[in-house]
Structure 1
Amino acid sequence: MRQPKSSITHLIFCINSCVDMPGADYQLLKLLGLSHCVKRFTLFQQGYHAGGTVLHLAKDLAENKKHARVLVVCCEIMLMAFHGLNNANLDYVISQKLFSDGAGAIIVGSNSDLTNEVPLFEIVSASLTILTNSEGTIRGG
């Protein structure tokens, strides 16, 4: 058994490479036929810590609102950052090999109705930590 899509109460959409209005979260809402009452959160430019950020937010939303169902979608389109081979900047080639287009989605909830759904995983903890004296450790090109 499964919950109907009408049980989705929140949408968290995370993307690093695009900013437009109305945003991709709104386009996804329409594409899936979800209610306009779904509360939406869009996170842009999160980079490497996007996964931790969205899981942290989804866990907090689900635990603080009984029967909340949070659809989390992360996607990335790296094709827009494509550059041809340039011997002076081999880091472009390396980053294009490491990172590519992709997407993932999960529904996070709490207070599961075990007659209608079967939880596959439990998020025990999701947090972000700032390390002392770490500012400037990771820099962009």
Structure 2
Amino acid sequence: MLAVVATIMPELVAAAAAKAIAEWGRPARDITHLVFSTSTSVQVPAIDLRVASLLGLSPTVQHTVMCSHGCTGSSSALRIAKDIPENNRGTRIFVACADILSVLGG
């Protein structure tokens, strides 16, 4: 299951993110912060790094990653995204929340 998450999740997130960035109308490199949340376990390398690479984000983009947060992860990601610009003028934040869950057993 972890191999599926490591390969498929970044591609799904990047595809959705590319559409959102296109609607925003600015280049992905203008994003200064990436907040990523998932209830899926921690991956090494982290999924957000692959997403950032697929989107062509700047290497200096700041990352905040929350793993294994279950149902509260998305709302926590939005709270963090709200807090960042309050303390950092000129920030442009992209929030991505993704989960791939499987049912194991018979």
- In angstroms, what is the RMSD of aligned CA positions? 1.5
Q: Which of 10, 18, 39 is matched with 2:62 structurally?
A: 39
For 1:17-48, what per-residue CA distance to the aligned partner results, in whole angstroms no more than 9, with x for missing partners? 13221100000011111111000111011111
Distance across 1 between alignment mates of 2:73 and 2:89? 25
More deviation, 46-55/22-31: 46-55
Is 2:44 aligned against 1:18? no
Kindly indicate whether the alpha-carbon contact (under 8 Å) linking 2:38 and 2:66 is maintained by their aligned counterparts in 1: yes
Q: Which of 75, 81, 88 is matched with 1:65 structurally?
A: 88
Scaled by the length of structure 1, the TM-score of the pair is 0.54
Q: Match of 1:95?
A: none
Query: By percentage of residues, which structure has more helix?
Result: 2
Is 2:48 aligned against 1:48? no
Identity of aligned residues (%): 33
Instruction: Tell me which of the two structures has the higher relative contact order, counting C-alpha pairs closer than 8 angstroms and 6 or more residues apart.
Output: 2
Misfit runs of 4+, over 6 Å = none
Scaled by the length of structure 2, the TM-score of the pair is 0.71
Ranges in structure 2 where 5+ consecutive residues have no aligned partner: 1-23
Q: Secondary structure at the match of 1:19?
A: coil
Distance across 1 between alignment mates of 2:72 and 2:50? 24
Is 2:76 aligned against 1:30? no
Q: Match of 1:83?
A: 104
Distance across 1 between alignment mates of 2:40 and 2:25? 33
Ranges in structure 1 where 5+ consecutive residues have no aligned partner: 86-141
Kindly indicate whether the alpha-carbon contact (under 8 Å) linking 2:37 and 2:98 is maintained by their aligned counterparts in 1: yes
Q: Secondary structure at the match of 2:49?
A: helix
Q: Match of 1:109?
A: none
Amino acid at match of 1:58: A
Aligned length: 83
Distance across 2 between alignment mates of 1:22 and 1:9? 20
